[in-house]
A and B are shown apart, each in its own frame.
Chain A
Amino acid sequence: MSERAQMRTPLGRVRGLGAARSGTWHFWHQRVTSVAGIPLTIALIVIVITLLGRSHATTVQVLGSPLVAIVMLLFIANSAYHMWIGMQEIILDYVHGEIIKLVTLMANTFFVCAVALASAYAILKLSFGV
């Protein structure tokens, strides 16, 4: 194809982002959080099994201990970001009305922030015992 027939500007071609300008971050961040999610999920299952049938006092002590608390916080943060992207993808696939799409996308962000913050707050409270 000759230079004259090119529809894209030289700068656009060099950037290589295509018409959507930021095509791949969504895909890539979902991959990064999915890789991180594998050890974190296994760790969560181990932590939950350890705490099965334990008293409240023991649970508080274990969940508030530094290593467990850090792993739990990582799980919460990683899952929040992963599920935010995932639900956004589901909404964009199935919700077509402009208004309802905006509302559900916002609701997704609000839900994820609220659940993640509440969970993280609980862990921090258990850790610092205030």
Chain B
Amino acid sequence: MADIETGTATSRRARPLSPHLQIYTPMLTMMMSIVHRITGAALYFGMLLLAWWLLAAAYGPNAYANVEWFMGSLIGRLILFGYTWALLHHMLGGIRHLIWDTGRGLEPTERELLAKATLVGSIVFTLIVWGIGYLVMGGPR
């Protein structure tokens, strides 16, 4: 405090005005909150894929074949896998937020459980959806 009052060099250093993310120890609930926003932003641009798919179907067989080729490629499948996970994670995270909005599930153990359920649930549901998808297609091609 003496430094500040006397105005020495140390007091004029640029200091953060308020604590930011890097100040805090990462916690699961905090990471889930960040991931919720990131998946939301990813899904925002992911709507382009849906639009592309629908427009290609409307354009005709050639345009649709292009989409099928891309979605079936390794990169396409990785993107779709990520899309599925982001969608389900954002949906489960949203349900968690809706539960919190009612004032329930905010106790320390409850919110940790909800955060873990969101993470595990999103992975499990993604694998289930892809399992069903491959069953419908008759195995990986």
Across-interface contacts of A115 in B (CB, < 8 A)? 47-48, 51
Chain A residue numbers with a CB within 8 Å of B55 are 118-119, 121-122
Task: Kindly supply a per-residue 1/0 record for chain A positions 5-37, scoring 1 wherever the CB is within 8 Å of any chain B CB and 0 otherwise.
Answer: 000000000000000000000000001001101
Q: Which residues of B contact A86 (CB under 8 A)?
A: 40-41, 44
Chain B residues with Cβ below 8 Å from A52 are 133, 136-137
* B19 close to A (CB within 8 Å): no
Distance in Å: Cβ of A128 to nearest Cβ of chain B = 11
Of residues 83 to 130 in A, which have CB atoms within 8 Å of B's CB atoms?
A: 83, 86-87, 90, 115-116, 118-119, 121-123, 125-126
Given contacts A34-B98, A49-B132, contact A87 B137 (CB under 8 A): no
Whether A45 and B129, one on each chain, are in contact in the complex, defined by CB atoms closer than 8 angstroms, is yes
Contact of A122 among B54, B61, B98, B138 (CB under 8 A): B54
- Secondary structure type dominating chain A contacts: helix
**Is B91 among interface residues, defined by CB-CB distance under 8 A?**
yes
| In the complex, per-residue mask of B84-126: 1 if CB is within 8 Å of any chain A CB, else 0 | 1001000100110110010000000000000000000000000
Closest to A120 in B: B54
**Interface members, chain A 48-94 (any B CB < 8 Å):** 49-50, 52-53, 56-57, 59-60, 63, 72, 76, 79-80, 83, 86-87, 90
Q: How far is the CA of A126 from the CA of B119 in the complex (A)?
A: 37
Q: Give A contacts to B, CB under 8 Å.
A: 31, 34-35, 37-38, 41, 45, 49-50, 52-53, 56-57, 59-60, 63, 72, 76, 79-80, 83, 86-87, 90, 115-116, 118-119, 121-123, 125-126
